[in-house]
């Protein structure tokens, strides 16, 4: 049976849809539109409305330009909305999962992602907010208070909305799991050390977080990209970057009054601002939202003591090498491989080459992707897991279905268990990848583990293979017909990488 369903919130009444087994509400505003003078300011409360607001269609994506990995284009800054998916059966006190999408910090949306199976797998309420991205989410400039954290502040506003409103959907505001993938996982790491986020969530899931703790050597994210620092920037450095970018684009006059400059910047068309989005994906630390860099705070144990699940995919880097090298007409070759090694690892290049010889892979690009997976993804994830496990219950996984259908097809390139390949095992993507029977069974298991963790803070379930904590060094491999421990440390040569910078 399908039909309308109405819920009264503190800001007004919304009408969603009832489907067989679940309820769906989309595009519910959790903060005022950050438009006009509200650009680059903290999210403000929603203005209450009268009547019944339609919540059956998606809200606006955050402003973004289409990319090779994301087709969505949006110029509308009125984007601070969220979707709620809940079981249709009457109930109260259900665990809540708040999902932060990925997309590199410049792209992403809640549209096209159906959380029904996840909600029903564990009797959960799933909340998916949209938040400011790129130049609108991580911009900084002299005179701009708490710059570089507007996306984080939006997410915190969504968590506060959950605290106020989620009981109306049957959820428990005292049992909230904050989860995210890729850039969304990076944001989860930020909330774990942000004082202002304390108490707003009670468990955390980080899927394929990138560069949380340390730098990334040149070319190991994408061939051709230089060495990268951790994904956090000092506020003063961001202010300088913002001022230089604004002047370079002719939006402001160098050396002018910061207040007047910000007033002009708030009038720049969104389409023009988006030209600079790639430069503003690193949240800033040194302000109220993020006083300390997570790269420093997490290893020191200065984070909220909540249980954590984290992990990676077995072939993370194939996404980046396949999409941005091979499919872009710039594959790694036998001739370029030694140069990439030298520029990435300097005096250690020969030692790395001996561990990752070209002959061990079908193509140079696949050889480079394996090396990059181990150094840029597996090693940092292992170090992050150890930082968490020293202070709180921690469970580590590796998604290892090398036949997983990719969300972003890579024609002619073996995708393997690439970055983001686990997402269709949590969510449905209408019109997207189709899973085999064995893969559907794995998806049931993945959702089951995630639901158990959201419910009790431990992924263990009697109907699934045991999953010991990471304190024992255990890593749970998730693959069709093969769920259980794997020697992640040996598989990704972590003892070797531990000896290198």
DSSP, res 383: H
Beta bridge partners of 125: 96
Cα 430 from Cα 424, distance rounded (Å): 10
Nearest CA-CA partner of 363 in 371, 375, 355, 354: 371
Q: Which two tokens stand for residue 409?
A: 């097809």
Cα–Cα distances (Å) from 281 to 104, 237, 253, in that order, read 8, 13, 24
Per the annotation, the verdict on 419 as an active-site residue is yes
Of the residues 74, 182, 336, 420, only one is catalytic, namely 182
Nearest CA-CA partner of 282 in 149, 403, 166: 149
Q: Which two tokens stand for residue 110?
A: 């809640």
Beta bridge partners of 205: 179, 309
Whether the CB-CB separation of 126 and 114 falls below 8 Å is answered with: no
Per the annotation, the verdict on 68 as an active-site residue is no
Cα 405 from Cα 306, distance rounded (Å): 33
Helix (H) or strand (E) holding 171: strand 171-181
Neighbouring CB atoms inside 10 A of 102's CB total 24
Cα 466 from Cα 482, distance rounded (Å): 12
Whether the CB-CB separation of 269 and 255 falls below 8 Å is answered with: no
Q: Which two tokens stand for residue 155?
A: 């997410």
| Torsion (CA) 111, 116, 118, 120 in degrees, nearest 10 | 160
Q: Is 342 exposed, middle or buried (0-12, 13-18, 19+ CB in 10 A)?
A: middle
Per the annotation, the verdict on 316 as an active-site residue is yes
Provide the sign of the torsion angle of the four alpha carbons 450, 451, 457, 459, taken in this order: negative
Cα 36 from Cα 136, distance rounded (Å): 12
Neighbouring CB atoms inside 10 A of 57's CB total 9
Whether the CB-CB separation of 126 and 203 falls below 8 Å is answered with: no
Of the residues 183, 219, 419, 492, only one is catalytic, namely 419
Cα 106 from Cα 91, distance rounded (Å): 37
Provide the sign of the torsion angle of the four alpha carbons 72, 77, 78, 82, taken in this order: positive
Q: Which two tokens stand for residue 485?
A: 């421990």
Of the residues 316, 365, 477, 492, only one is catalytic, namely 316
> Within 13 Å, how many C-alpha atoms sit on residue 45's CB side?
7
**Is residue 398 helix, strand or coil?**
strand
Q: Is 391 exposed, middle or buried (0-12, 13-18, 19+ CB in 10 A)?
A: middle
Whether the CB-CB separation of 319 and 415 falls below 8 Å is answered with: yes
Annotated catalytic sites, by residue? 182, 316, 419
């Amino acid at each position: 049976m399908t039909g309308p369903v109405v819920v009264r919130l503190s800001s007004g009444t919304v009408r969603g849809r009832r489907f067989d087994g679940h309820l769906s509400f989309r595009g519910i505003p959790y903060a005022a539109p950050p438009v006009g003078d509200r650009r680059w300011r903290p999210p403000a409360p929603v203005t209450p409305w009268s009547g019944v607001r339609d919540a059956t269609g998606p809200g606006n994506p955050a402003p973004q330009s289409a990319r090779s990995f994301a087709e969505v284009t949006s110029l509308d800054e009125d984007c601070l909305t969220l979707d709620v998916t809940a079981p249709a059966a009457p109930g109260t006190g259900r665990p809540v999962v708040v999902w932060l999408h990925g997309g590199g910090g410049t792209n992403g949306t809640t549209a096209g992602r159906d959380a029904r199976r996840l909600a029903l797998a564990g009797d959960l309420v799933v909340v998916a907010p949209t938040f400011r991205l790129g130049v609108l989410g991580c911009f900084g400039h002299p005179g701009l208070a708490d710059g570089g954290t507007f996306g984080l502040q939006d997410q915190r506003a969504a968590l506060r909305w959950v605290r106020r409103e989620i009981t109306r959907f049957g959820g428990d505001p005292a049992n909230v799991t904050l989860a995210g993938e890729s850039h969304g996982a990076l944001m989860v790491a930020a909330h774990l050390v942000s004082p202002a986020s304390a108490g707003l969530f009670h468990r955390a899931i980080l899927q394929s977080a990138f560069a949380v703790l340390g730098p990334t050597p040149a070319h190991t994210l994408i061939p051709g990209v230089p060495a990268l620092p951790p994904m956090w920037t000092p506020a003063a450095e961001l202010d300088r970057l913002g001022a230089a970018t604004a002047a370079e684009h002719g939006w402001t006059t160098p050396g002018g009054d910061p207040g007047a400059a910000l007033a002009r910047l708030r009038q720049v068309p969104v389409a023009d601002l988006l030209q600079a989005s790639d430069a503003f994906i690193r949240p800033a630390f040194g302000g109220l939202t993020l006083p300390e860099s997570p790269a420093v705070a997490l290893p020191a144990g200065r984070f909220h003591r909540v249980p954590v699940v984290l992990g990676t995919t077995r072939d993370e880097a194939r996404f980046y090498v396949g999409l941005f090298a091979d499919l872009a007409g710039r594959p790694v070759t036998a001739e370029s491989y030694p140069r990439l090694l030298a520029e990435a690892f300097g005096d250690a290049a020969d030692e790395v080459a001996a561990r990752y010889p070209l002959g061990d892979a079908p193509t140079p690009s696949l050889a480079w992707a394996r090396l990059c997976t181990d150094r840029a993804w597996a090693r940092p994830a292992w170090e992050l897991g150890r930082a968490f496990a020293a202070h709180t219950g921690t469970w580590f996984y590796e998604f290892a279905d090398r036949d997983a259908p990719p969300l972003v097809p890579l024609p002619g390139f073996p995708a393997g268990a690439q970055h983001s390949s686990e997402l269709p095992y949590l969510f449905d993507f209408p019109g997207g990848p189709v899973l085999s029977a064995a893969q559907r069974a794995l998806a049931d298991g993945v959702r089951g583990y995630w639901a158990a963790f959201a419910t009790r803070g431990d992924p263990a379930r009697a109907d699934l293979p045991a999953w010991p904590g990471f304190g024992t060094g255990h890593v749970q491999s998730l693959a069709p017909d093969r769920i259980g421990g794997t020697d992640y440390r040996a598989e990704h040569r972590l003892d070797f990488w531990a000896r290198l910078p």
